[in-house]
Amino acid sequence: MNSGTARLGVLLVNLGTPDAPTPKAVRRYLREFLSDPRVVEIPRALWWLILNLIVLRIRPRRSAHAYRTIWTDRGSPLLAHTEDLRDLLAADGRFAGVEFAMRYGNPSIRSKLEALKRQAETIVILPLYPQYSAATTGSVFDAVCDTAKSWRHVPGLHFISDYYRAPAYLEAVASSIRSFWQAHGRPDRLLFSFHGLPKRCVDRGDPYAGQCQHTAREIAALLGLNDEEWLLAYQSRFGRAEWLKPYCIDTLRELPVQGIRRVDVVCPGFAVDCLETLEEIAVTNRGEFLGAGGECYRYIPALNARPEHAKALIGLLEPYLALPG
């Protein structure tokens, strides 16, 4: 075991979740999330009015209802799966400490960085976003820096910006799809659905769309799919601006018209399942596809705490174990 082994701490970061499936808790969470200028890139004064006079008066109740449909005894699935994934990494035994935090909500990035600072001399921050976007990974970087700038002694900090082309990650997703097909059979089409992003963000230099396309192509290749057997779309459009296309909901409505009535959907941009995958993708979009004439719609779960997922993430961290201590 090298001298740096006992000195390295790891912080996994996910998006976040309300503390409870109630309008009050959801409103508190949405206020923090949607107040981030990385998330909504419109003039602050205008957005303050929209957020406080419209969004936070309407959306919390609707979202709370959606959260209640997926809530578990351990809280939100995103929180539970992220904790389980953390436990698998900690069980590896080579890190001084492994913590997880949420960019918005609890546990906070500040609290978990403070905990790691007491355990390790070098910390690696690993946002659980395979594909980089300023609105996700970039915002995590902001929060880490906001914490570090208050420290007198800043330890070694390393930041993993993306892992969209990491072979072990790609193979882990492909393996989960193979396992699903072995148990349930193959569809007419495999749809890769990624979280949407306003097109203007990509026009300004965000690499997200290209990284999503690379991920989908590589996983399709690992599965041996030809170009007619898979497609890519983007979900969760919000507001009136143009977002990355094609839109997932439009794609699902069009497929039955084209004679494609059996579709499986996988979301490789989500490390673990959450409201968006379990309610929007697995339930709401299923209804849209079947309502348009589809016959079979299946959501393939995120990697969650599968052993090969943990192995892929540990592979990203291993180079930092070799750093001089």
Strand partners, 72: 75
108: helix, coil or strand?
strand
Q: Residue 311: pLDDT above 80?
A: yes
Q: What is the DSSP string of 44-93?
A: HHHHHHHIIIIIHHHHHHHHHHHHHHH-BTTB-HHHHHHHHHHHHHHTT-
Residue positions forming the annotated binding site:
195, 276
Q: Is 182 exposed, middle or buried (0-12, 13-18, 19+ CB in 10 A)?
A: exposed
Section 287-309 average pLDDT: 98
For range 267-290, the mean pLDDT: 97
User: Higher-confidence residue: 51 or 323?
Assistant: 51
The pTM (predicted TM-score) of the whole model is 0.94
Residue type at position 236:
S
| Domain architecture of the chain: domains with CATH | 167-300 (3.40.50.1400)
Q: What is the pLDDT of residue 325?
A: 58
CB 162 within 8 A of CB 130: yes
Report how far residue 61's alpha carbon sits from residue 262's, in angstroms, rounded to the nearest whole number.
34
Q: Write the pLDDT tens digit of every residue in 93-132.
A: 999 999 999 999 999 999 999 999 999 999 999 999 999 9
Q: Residue 314 pLDDT more than 70?
A: yes
Q: Report the half-sphere exposure of 218 (CA within 13 A, side-chain side).
A: 18
Residues placed in the known binding site for Fe(2+): 195, 276
Judging by DSSP bridges, how do beta strands 8-17 and 122-127 pair with one another? parallel
Render pLDDT for 179-188 as a digit per residue (tens, 0 to 9).
Answer: 999 999 999 9
